[in-house]
Amino acid sequence: MSNKIEISACIVCGSTSLNDELTVTDWLVSNEVFYLKNCNSCGFRFTSNPPSAMQAGPYYETEEYVEHSDSSAGIINTVYHQARKWMLRYKLGLIKKHAKGNRLIDIGSGSGYFIHFMKQNGLAVAGVEISDKAVALCNEKFGITAYSPTQFLNNEIQDEYDIATMWHVFEHVYSYDEYFAMLKQKLTADGTLIIAMPNHLCLEEKYYRKYWNGYDTPRHLWHFTSETFTQFAKDRGFEVVKEHNLPLDPFYNCLISASYKKSFSFMPATLMLGLLSLLNSIFFFKKSSSIVYVLKKI
Ligand SMILES: [Zn+2]
């Protein structure tokens, strides 16, 4: 589909000693092949041959990128939309528990369901979104105009914020240092940064491997774990003060991964694997399907 770049050093520790972990197909859009590598020094895993940032756009062009869709066709979409309502309440609970103040900026705000819900619950909200289509949907549906990443990174937004959120967004970000620097600048001294990402140490990754939805190559560049993200954030002036899971993510991951694997996708068994993964994460938190990192400035 386009020219690839080659990432030849670990973005966590800088080591160039890497080993091949897995070859993963882009099941969603291009059917192209991508490579996951592990850092031999710190264990960080990443997609080593993604498209360049300028050429990543076409890899997002699919109706099945459900966050941007209100379609209720298909059981996965139905489950997804019910789950979204539950997740919005869960996320609000996390924010109320950890954050002070009510000015929130959501990076990767998509079509705006999250910021709209937070606004309904008394927060002053802003969004940052790369997709023009999603910005238009958000404006049309909720009357909220999201900023562009360029406006955010060029410091064209005057306000400061008490809370910044990135829900399954940071793993997509090429200019991770610029984002961290600007988040540090935009958050108040006591501000809270919340970043949620998939975690490949989860149980269902062991079963699905190259079909695991959490890899989502080449859209997901970085495959953090609690250990690697804690170090990464610390080097950029943030401390992880608390971690949570997202209890519906193992089910969502299993349903999507099973649709890629095709050979065996009997739904009750798929959901059972999701349940096993969730139960496993109760005993071994670091093996949660996704981790919500709550961070404060150091
Ligand atoms: Zn490393």
pLDDT above 80: residue 292: yes
Cα of 1 from ligand 1 centre, angstroms: 29
Cα of 9 from ligand 1 centre, angstroms: 8
Alpha carbon distance 238, 153 (integer Å): 18
Percent of the chain with pLDDT over 70: 94
Cα of 252 from ligand 1 centre, angstroms: 29
Alpha carbon distance 99, 30 (integer Å): 40
Confidence at residue 63, expressed as pLDDT on a 0 to 100 scale: 65
Confidence at residue 267, expressed as pLDDT on a 0 to 100 scale: 82
Give the domain ranges of the chain: 27-297
Cα of 38 from ligand 1 centre, angstroms: 8
Contact of 167 with 216, CB cutoff 8 Å: no
Cα of 14 from ligand 1 centre, angstroms: 6
Contact of 161 with 132, CB cutoff 8 Å: no
Write out pLDDT tens, residues 115-174.
Answer: 999 999 999 999 999 999 999 999 999 999 899 999 999 999 988 999 999 999 999 999
154 C-beta neighbours (distance < 10 Å), count: 11
Cα of 143 from ligand 1 centre, angstroms: 43
Cα of 39 from ligand 1 centre, angstroms: 5
Write out pLDDT tens, residues 19-63.
Answer: 999 999 999 999 999 999 999 999 999 999 999 999 998 898 876
Cα of 235 from ligand 1 centre, angstroms: 13
Cα of 3 from ligand 1 centre, angstroms: 25
Pick the CATH number of 27-297 from 3.40.50.1000, 3.40.50.2300, 3.40.50.150, 3.30.2350.10: 3.40.50.150
